[in-house]
Amino acid sequence: MDNYKNATTAAIRIQNTLTDEMEHSTPLFLTSSFQFDTAEDMQGAFAETNDHNIYSRFVNPTVTEFVQKVCALEGAEDGFATASGMAAIFGTFMTFLNSGDHILSSASVFGSTHTILTKYLQRWGIQSSYTDFSNKEAIIQAIRSDTKLLYLETPTNPGLDIFDLEMIGKLCREKGIIFIVDNCFATPLLQRPIEFGADLVIHSATKWMDGQGRVLGGVVVGRKELIREVYLFCRNTGPSMSPFNAWILSKSLETLDVRMQRHCDNALTLAKRLQSHPSINAVKYPMLETHPAFAIARKQMSAGGGIVTFELKGGLDAGIKFMNGLQMLSLTSNLGDTRSIASHPSSTTHSKLSEEERLAVGITPGLIRVSVGLEHIDDIWSDIRNSLDPLI
Ligand SMILES: *Cc1c(COP(=O)(O)O)cnc(C)c1O
């Protein structure tokens, strides 16, 4: 697969190879199955001696178009699309992990991923553990002879920690471990983990890829022989993406580049303005010099992404007051929408963790996460400032 910097370019090259027609926009194959001219054609499809579509749980042309666009952006050989980001994560874990295997993960991961790692995998005799991925020695210590997968997010949700993909990629290659990166927060427009040694890259397409808060989706892309395994597992177990969602997402990818530029510009400006507000202790954004891994962010990302976090001096109470003071920003648990969204992790998404567990992943009582939208930055800032000022 050639790789392109922008999915609109990729779209033009990919789409017309999928059917004999020459649609200008993405066609929607809203069908569960495909028919054959002859018994031999059908026989060949099952034997994989031709590439005829069989059944949409396996492959569907609209879904293939979406997957190929993501491959082009990530510089990946092949991919498989799923109903949600969690379906991609769980499907990939279960493809490779057998009873007796171990998976090593960074401590701060998306909430449902944390639940899979700590509550479900053990049921099948799979061990998981966390370590500090910003510390090379700690990773070396944590790798075991039965470690099969190494999994991380960078930037992490919601902590915005940044890990050195190149350093970790090298370690995985030396040890023969499959290196998987959840690249949801960066998108392939800002960071391409395969260039730094990742074997597989996973996305929740629900977030920035759709970017308009409409559909759920997930995708895993990477090395051809690994994707083949994911495909065979998923074709049988059924987490596949709906053609309708692929149709939505495929068009969304064509505007991802310009959307991300605006999200990132707005986020950086917001982060800088927040830094001088008296009711805030600290602001975290990958492209601020005060970020502990600023140098690594600069090395592996072209911009900081659309998420900014900050810590209110007034703790939990201030967090609740801030959320209630917002007029324009939505109180929503999603992120990566056209509209700016605020969330208060310690009273919502992470309220079930103990205080100690929350602090271990950087979630203090006054932490606010903002998913910065496409509105004018002055409108975003005035809503946030109006809600911050009474907290001084
Ligand atoms: C949202 C999210 C997921 C899960 O994706 P869904 O599409 O909601 O299933 C996984 N990883 C990260 C980093 C996310 O933000």
Rounded to two decimals, what is the model's pTM?
Answer: 0.94
Nearest CA to ligand 1 atom 2: 204
Distance CA 364, CA 316 (A): 8
Ligand 1 close to Cβ of residue 182 (< 6 A): yes
Q: Which amino acid is at 97?
A: L
- Centre of ligand 1 to C-alpha 220, Å, is 12
CA of 329 from ligand 1 middle (Å) equals 21
Contact 91, 25 (CB under 8 A): no
Q: Which two tokens stand for residue 200?
A: 């597989």
Terminal Cα-to-Cα distance of the chain (whole angstroms): 54
Instruction: Give distance in angstroms: CA of 154 to centre of ligand 1.
Output: 13
d(CA 336, CA 323): 18
Atom of ligand 1 nearest to the CA of 153: 13
Q: What is the pLDDT of residue 1?
A: 47
Whether ligand 1 lies within 6 angstroms of the CB of 95 is answered as no
Q: Distance from the CA of 223 to the center of ligand 1, in angstroms?
A: 22
Q: Is the minimum distance from the CB of 210 to ligand 1 under 6 angstroms?
A: no
Q: Dihedral sign, CA of 149, 180, 175, 132?
A: negative
Q: Look up residue 121 and give its DSSP letter.
A: G
Q: Could you tell me the mean pLDDT of each successive run of 10 residues in the chain, 392 residues long?
A: 66 59 82 94 95 94 96 97 98 98 94 94 97 96 98 95 98 98 98 98 98 97 98 98 97 96 98 97 97 98 98 96 97 94 93 86 93 98 98 92
Contact of 102 with 146, CB cutoff 8 Å? yes
* Dist CA 380 CA 368 (whole Å): 15
Identify the pLDDT of residue 357.
Answer: 85
d(CA 5, CA 45): 33
Pocket test for ligand 1, best of 180, 204, 369 (most atoms within 8 A of CB): 204
Verify whether ligand 1 is closer than 6 Å to residue 307 (CB atom).
no
Measure the CA–CA gap between 365 and 381, rounded to whole angstroms: 22
Please tell me the residue having the least CA distance from ligand 1 atom 12: 110
Regarding the beta carbon of 156 and ligand 1, being less than 6 Å apart is answered no
Q: Catalogue all structural domains in the chain, each as residue range(s) with its CATH number.
A: 7-253 (3.40.640.10), 256-391 (3.90.1150.10)
Q: What is the pLDDT of residue 17?
A: 58
Residue 256 pLDDT: 97
Please report the pLDDT score of residue 19 as a whole number: 58
